[in-house]
Amino acid sequence: MKNAPVFLFGLLAALTISWAGIVLGSHAQLGALAPYFDDGDQQSYPFRQSGIAARGQLVYAELGCASCHTQQVRRPGYGSDQARGWGDRQSVARDYIHQIVPQLGGLRLGPDLANLAARKPNAPAAEDLMKLLYLGSPTHPAYRFLFQERQISGQRSLKALPLAGRDAPAANYEIVPTEQAQSLVSYLLSLNHAFVYPEARPAPKETKAGAPAHAAPKETPVPAAAPDEKKKTEGAKK
Amino acid sequence: MIIAPTNAVSAEVSPVDVHARGALLLLLASSLGWLVLSGILALIAAIQLHSPAFLQDLPWLTHGRAEALRETAFIYGWAANAGLGIGLWLVGRLGGNLLRALNWTVTGTVFWNLGVLAGLVGIALGDMTSLPMLQLPRYVQPLLVVAYAAIALSGVLAWSGRRVDSTYASQWYVVAALFLFPWLLTAGQMVMLWAPMRGTLQAIAAAWYAQGIWSFWLAPLALAGAYYIVPKVTGRLLPSYEFAPLAFWVLLMAGGWTAGRALVGGPVPAWISTVAIVAGMLVLFHHMVLGLNLRVVLGGTGNALSFIRFGLAAYILSGVLNAIVSFRVVAERLHFTFAGSALDQLAYQGAISTLFFGSIYYMLPRLTGRTWSSGALIVGHRVLFIAGVVGAVVSLTVAGWLQGGYLLDGKTPVADILGNIRGPLLIATASQLVMLAANLLLVVNFFQSVCPCRTADASSPGPFRQPSAVEATAT
Amino acid sequence: MNGPSNSDPRIDQAVVTDDAVVVAHEKLLGKQPDEKARYRLLPLNLLFIFSGLIFFGATYLGRYAGYFDPKVFDETAPKATAAAAAPEDPIEKGKKVYATVCAACHQANGMGLPGAFPPLVESEWVVGSEERLIRIALHGLQGPVKVKGADFNSMMPAAGRVAGSGFNLSDDRIAAVLTYVRQEWGNKAGPITTEKVAEIHGKEGDHKPWTAAELEKLP
């Protein structure tokens, strides 16, 4: 460590090797990940974000929603995500390929939102989300700055929040969501991990290889033991 | 084993210190400003966790933004300035020659701090990148790279132009941090901000960058101070020092690979987390050797050593705990909970801040040529700060453990969990308050100590004993 | 000893010079562990621990790295299914198709609506001949039909990918949903394979909706 060029080169190598391994390595593997075309549905998944949803994701990012909400469903059997109705399958890399700034998050003080629009038993409606954003709850702040209170001129706006009782604005006034709130809610309602990609299916465990016996098609061999079958599906995908 | 005295009688306040005084005091003073700011923001963010309605009408202080501001002020404000100040001082002293290019350092410091300030304003106004540890908006990032390079230049020059050919552990760690950070920052920016990669690859890159901040930058800077001060104050050789180079390279080589533990169970290929678990175990070797080397700290006394002792304990503990929680069995319960915040507090407040404080307490009298203004404030700072760190780490761990249990049990609604862990979160807030108060004591003491208005209270030969002379009489 | 005493708590006195620290430690680095034939346990132990960590790491990587496959997200997945994705469970797939296509008339519980839509539970048409069932699903059924002793007379639209179909379900989805209805709600008939559906689809092409009388001529 006395020789300056050698030492500095060693330092740079240490940084570069981990960079190459983790960042470039995963980029080489997943950088060209394409949407999945489903023959049955004659559609590609995931869907592209609509313009307003993409804007909404930026609002989500800049407000820092990710500091309390995650957007990554864990696989059934690992955590309680499935029991909570957050999703029946693990989120996979392909779910995020159209997102400009994926918001995986790191703390679950609030619920996971990755699959909000397909949540079970029932997904929230736009109105519920608007009310939560405006009124808040004991566990969620009220973001009044995303709304505008204004005098009703002529007809009541279609977008005005249906508020009653204590929360209602003064007579002749209405609460309307700003463009930020509207795009945020559109974004939240576009979050959907319902389509099951091949790589997102729960892997059968070695102990009970293959699908349950009663469901296995008669003449197809058990998949775990059939390399030919594997090739066939690979080929069909391409 | 006692270090044998050399014949050279070098004064404890060397011309190196006098020459660099202005530049280094500027770095330290700005670091303390950011420390207080990040403490205030940490308090706000902590209150918002148990009382979501707190400041909810201020769009620039939503919890997400307060958290991003806190993190940025802490890392790029406090830790960057303090770490650079300590690092430059260490390589300057160990190199034995006057620091060169100090006007670059001063200019760089000014622009670095202006850049961070502009970045914080940007975050508050809604330009945060939402990438952990890299929240600064895109438009200030190139400035930061250039400013950092300008500051660090004199450190690399001091190392390569050193008077003695031999090198010491502190020098390796400082040079690594000074040299690698611009590369880290540039590489991180490229793939996340300028030419963003697709989908979850961004999250992988962000995890690598955040881990790099620790492994390539802040941890080396913090350890450099400890490696220097412990033998200086105790006068003892570090045991098992022959393993120090291996420990150094293990941290650098394996450290970056531990990034994937932030993504365990997430939408990234399984190998990323598995590699992280393995790397986390390998890095434990670094922690073990560090503990062996610096265990002589237990025998010393003094303000700097008291801080360093706690900081090293927190550093080693955080390494062990990080390795444990990265295993999937444990992460199933603790990932996505406050246990992660507890580990962050342990690593960044318990280890980094405390080790920096130790170095600053040792370094400032050498820079000014005078003692600290008040001994009581030093003790107050230490007691309060350590109490705050312990309180925050323990309460957040409890909160995280409980939260993980409720989350795993699919029947407790998410909305009810917060109510069940409000107690520990209140204690965490109180701990943030205590830490903030402690740091204010440091700030008061610092400005009293450097104030030119201070009457000379030291006896005429200066406050320092001559180290080698003492050694001679001791033997 | 003319300097201030060591007891001033506002300062940390150093007992050695910088050069002494550097030079003394540099000597340690050059020293061989078994110098002067002194056996020292610690370096050996450290090396042993280091090798142990590497051994653990290699083993763990081999077992849980998901074969470094970018499409393996579950580290416990067996290798055979890692490369080719696990096949979708036909029951799960059929359930989804049923919910979107069939449940509107036959109801989620498979009981139909008395007088309007026939039940599927224990229906002889469902658990009986594969030939008839597949044709109904592919092309639809119209006219009077007797199910479990009750008479129905309504129109079931084609669901397969045939002319005039509103659903365009591929053959594998038809197979999946038929397998589902044959094994759900206590029904216990054998599964329908995609090959069988494809065979009938190929033979009949874009047949118009069947009548019960036509179907009863088939096996």
Q: What is the pLDDT of residues B101-151, one digit of tens each?
A: 999 999 999 999 999 999 999 999 999 999 999 999 999 999 999 999 999
DSSP letter, residue B140: G
C50 to B93: CB separation less than 8 angstroms, yes or no = no
**Would you call the peptide bond into A121 cis, given omega within 30 degrees of 0 as the criterion?**
yes
Question: At how many degrees (to 10) do helices B219-234 and B354-368 cross?
Answer: 60
DSSP letter, residue C210: B
Q: Which residue of A has its CA nearest to B249?
A: A14
What is the rounded distance in angstroms from the CA atom of residue B31 to the CA atom of residue B433?
A: 19
B243 to C56: CB separation less than 8 angstroms, yes or no = no
Q: What is the pLDDT of residues B282-295, one digit of tens each?
A: 999 999 999 999 99
What is the rounded distance in angstroms from the CA atom of residue C28 to the CA atom of residue C30?
A: 5
What pLDDT score was predicted for residue B467?
66
With respect to residue B465, please indicate whether it lies within any of the assigned structural domains. no
C71 to A234: CB separation less than 8 angstroms, yes or no = no
| Chain B residues touching residue A103 (CB < 8 angstroms) | 130
Instruction: Give the whole-number percent of chain A exceeding pLDDT 70.
Output: 84
Give the nearest partner residue to A224 out of C72, C78, C194, using CB atoms. C78
Overall number of domains in chain B: 1
- B89/chain C closest Cα distance in angstroms: 12
- A125/chain B closest Cα distance in angstroms: 18
Residue C167 has pLDDT above 70, yes or no: yes
Tell me if B393 sits within 8 A of C30, measured CB to CB. no
- How many Cα atoms are found within 13 Å in the side-chain-facing hemisphere of B90? 36
User: Which H or E run contains C155?
Assistant: strand C150-156
**A120 shares contact with chain C (CB less than 8 Å):** no
**Of C124, C86, C108, C131, nearest in space to C180 by CA:** C108
- B444/chain A closest Cα distance in angstroms: 33
**Of C158, C180, C179, nearest in space to C169 by CA:** C158
**A83 shares contact with chain B (CB less than 8 Å):** yes
Q: Which residue has the tokens 């002889």?
A: C124
**A97 shares contact with chain C (CB less than 8 Å):** no
**C72 shares contact with chain A (CB less than 8 Å):** yes
Handedness of CA B163, B169, B174, B175 (dihedral sign): positive
What pLDDT score was predicted for residue A233?
40
Rounded to the nearest integer, the mean pLDDT of chain A is 84
C28 to B237: CB separation less than 8 angstroms, yes or no = yes
C73 to A206: CB separation less than 8 angstroms, yes or no = no
With respect to residue A147, please indicate whether it lies within any of the assigned structural domains. yes
Tell me if A109 sits within 8 A of A216, measured CB to CB. no
Question: At how many degrees (to 10) do helices B270-293 and B244-255 cross?
Answer: 160
With respect to residue A102, please indicate whether it lies within any of the assigned structural domains. yes
Domain that holds residue B429: 15-450
What pLDDT score was predicted for residue C132?
87
DSSP letter, residue C117: B
Overall number of domains in chain A: 1
Q: Which residue has the tokens 């104030």?
A: B451
**A193 shares contact with chain C (CB less than 8 Å):** no
Rounded to the nearest integer, the mean pLDDT of chain C is 82
What is the rounded distance in angstroms from the CA atom of residue B288 to the CA atom of residue B283?
A: 9
Chains interfacing with B (3 or more CB pairs < 8 Å): A, C
Residue A157 has pLDDT above 60, yes or no: yes
What pLDDT score was predicted for residue C195?
87
Domain that holds residue A90: 37-197
What is the rounded distance in angstroms from the CA atom of residue B79 to the CA atom of residue B222?
A: 10
Residue A135 has pLDDT above 60, yes or no: yes
Number of Cβ within 10 Å of residue C111's Cβ equals 14
**Of B365, B469, B308, nearest in space to C9 by CA:** B365
With respect to residue B461, please indicate whether it lies within any of the assigned structural domains. no
Handedness of CA B24, B27, B33, B35 (dihedral sign): negative
DSSP labels for chain A? ---HHHHHHHHHHHHHHHIIIIIIHHHHHHTT--PEEETTTTEEESPPPPHHHHHHHHHHHHHTGGGT----PPPTTSSSTTTTTS-SS---GGGGTT-SS----S--SS---TTGGG-SS-PPPHHHHHHHHHH-BTTB---GGGEEEEE--SSPPTTS----GGGSPPTTEEEEE-HHHHHHHHHHTT----S--GGGSPPPPGGG-SS-GGGS-TTSPPGGG-HHHHHHHHHHH-
Residue B256 has pLDDT above 80, yes or no: yes
**A6 shares contact with chain C (CB less than 8 Å):** no
With respect to residue A75, please indicate whether it lies within any of the assigned structural domains. yes
With respect to residue A190, please indicate whether it lies within any of the assigned structural domains. yes
pLDDT band of A73, cuts 50, 70, 90: very high
Q: Which residue has the tokens 């502190």?
A: B170
**Of C135, A8, C38, A121, nearest in space to B176 by CA:** A8
A106 to B198: CB separation less than 8 angstroms, yes or no = no
**A9 shares contact with chain B (CB less than 8 Å):** no
With respect to residue B470, please indicate whether it lies within any of the assigned structural domains. no
* C10: its two tokens: 């506002």
- A132/chain C closest Cα distance in angstroms: 30
**A93 shares contact with chain C (CB less than 8 Å):** yes
The CATH number, out of the four listed (3.40.50.12780, 1.10.3720.10, 3.90.1150.150, 1.10.760.10), of the domain defined by the range C90-216? 1.10.760.10
Give the residue from B61, B165, B257, B336 with the most A CB atoms within 10 Å of its CB, the best one to mutate. Answer: B336
Q: Where are the alpha helices (DSSP H) in B125-189?
A: 141-160, 169-189
Number of Cβ within 10 Å of residue C13's Cβ equals 20
Give the nearest partner residue to A40 out of C73, C76, C169, using CB atoms. C169
Q: What is the pLDDT of residues B305-358, one digit of tens each?
A: 999 999 999 999 999 999 999 999 999 999 999 999 999 999 999 999 999 999
What pLDDT score was predicted for residue B456?
56
- How many Cα atoms are found within 13 Å in the side-chain-facing hemisphere of A104? 28
| Chain B residues touching residue C55 (CB < 8 angstroms) | none
- C-facing residues of A in 41-60 (CB < 8 A) are 42
| Chain C residues touching residue B12 (CB < 8 angstroms) | 13-14
* B56: its two tokens: 């909810």
What pLDDT score was predicted for residue B225?
96
**A114 shares contact with chain C (CB less than 8 Å):** no
Rounded to the nearest integer, the mean pLDDT of chain B is 91
- How many Cα atoms are found within 13 Å in the side-chain-facing hemisphere of A128? 8
ipTM score: 0.91
With respect to residue A79, please indicate whether it lies within any of the assigned structural domains. yes
Give the residue from B70, B198, B409 with the most A CB atoms within 10 Å of its CB, the best one to mutate. Answer: B198
> CATH number, domain at A166?
1.10.760.10
With respect to residue A204, please indicate whether it lies within any of the assigned structural domains. no
Q: Which residue has the tokens 């008077």?
A: B163
* A134: its two tokens: 């405006």
Mean pLDDT of B415-425: 94
With respect to residue A3, please indicate whether it lies within any of the assigned structural domains. no
What pLDDT score was predicted for residue C80?
58
Give the nearest partner residue to A65 out of B49, B64, B132, using CB atoms. B64
A63 to B62: CB separation less than 8 angstroms, yes or no = yes
Q: What is the pLDDT of residues B448-465, one digit of tens each?
A: 999 877 765 544 446 677
| Chain C residues touching residue B306 (CB < 8 angstroms) | none
Tell me if B91 sits within 8 A of C18, measured CB to CB. no
DSSP letter, residue B62: -
Residue B251 has pLDDT above 70, yes or no: yes
Under the phi-then-psi rule, with left for phi > 0, alpha for psi from -120 to 50, and beta for the rest, what region is C72? beta
pTM assigned to the model: 0.87
- B-facing residues of A in 16-35 (CB < 8 A) are 17-19, 21-23, 26-27, 29-31, 33
B463 to C11: CB separation less than 8 angstroms, yes or no = yes
